[in-house]
């Protein structure tokens, strides 16, 4: 079976290119986020996987559940996904759309995880340093995880920089065991 991300890629790319050409990337991102959230609900999954429903009925159900948050173009996109039995891919489509949009805008979302609150000045310095290294605008969000003991964990897309004490201890234990 093909990876879900592989199946979602052409749909995400098509939605992105359409939204970019129409100048409505933010609007499409919001609509895809709504549809992706709705299809992840267990009750909705049960309804959308009901074999007695036609593709048109599945699309209509999803559009109705999303309410006014889906425009005509997004509703047509949902209908295409339903016809191709790809409604379950909406979360992956949304994630890939967000990645394409970030790449277009030369930005990256970075998550900074530390065991203690990080001062705003430190976050700003980190954002500037990462922005220079990645050649992108960096948007930093912070989170706390007391299990790290000390140091920080930085996630930027697929890149993970583990400068935590827990990570260093794990590497040390691994080196001692090999």
Distance CA 1, CA 44 (A): 23
Q: Where are the beta strands (DSSP E) in the chain?
A: 107-114, 137-144, 151-156, 159-164
Backbone Cα Rg of the chain: 20
Distance CA 31, CA 46 (A): 22
Write the pLDDT tens digit of every residue in 60-85. Answer: 999 999 888 898 999 999 999 999 99
Write the pLDDT tens digit of every residue in 100-114. Answer: 998 887 878 888 899
Mean local confidence (pLDDT), 144-150: 84
Q: Which pLDDT score is estimated for 78?
A: 92
Distance CA 130, CA 31 (A): 30
What domains does the chain contain, in order, with CATH numbers?
A: 4-102 (1.10.520.20), 107-177 (3.40.30)
For the whole prediction, is pTM greater than 0.85?
A: no
């Amino acid at each position: 079976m093909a990876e879900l991300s592989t199946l979602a890629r052409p749909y995400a790319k098509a939605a992105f290119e359409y939204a970019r050409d129409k100048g409505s990337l933010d609007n499409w991102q919001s609509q895809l986020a709504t549809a992706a959230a709705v299809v992840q609900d267990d009750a909705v999954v049960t309804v959308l996987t009901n074999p007695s429903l036609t593709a048109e009925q599945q699309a209509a159900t999803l559009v109705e559940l999303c309410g006014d948050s889906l425009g005509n173009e997004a509703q047509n996109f949902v209908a295409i996904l339903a016809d191709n039995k790809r409604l379950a891919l909406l979360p992956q489509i949304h994630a890939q759309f967000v990645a394409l949009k970030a790449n277009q805008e030369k930005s990256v979302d970075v998550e900074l995880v530390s065991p203690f609150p990080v001062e705003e000045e430190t976050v700003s310095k980190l954002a500037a340093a990462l922005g220079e290294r990645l050649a992108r605008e960096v948007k930093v969000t912070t989170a706390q995880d007391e299990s790290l003991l000390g140091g920080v964990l930085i996630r930027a897309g697929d890149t993970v920089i583990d400068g935590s004490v827990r990570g260093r201890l794990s590497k040390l234990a691994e080196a001692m065991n090999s």
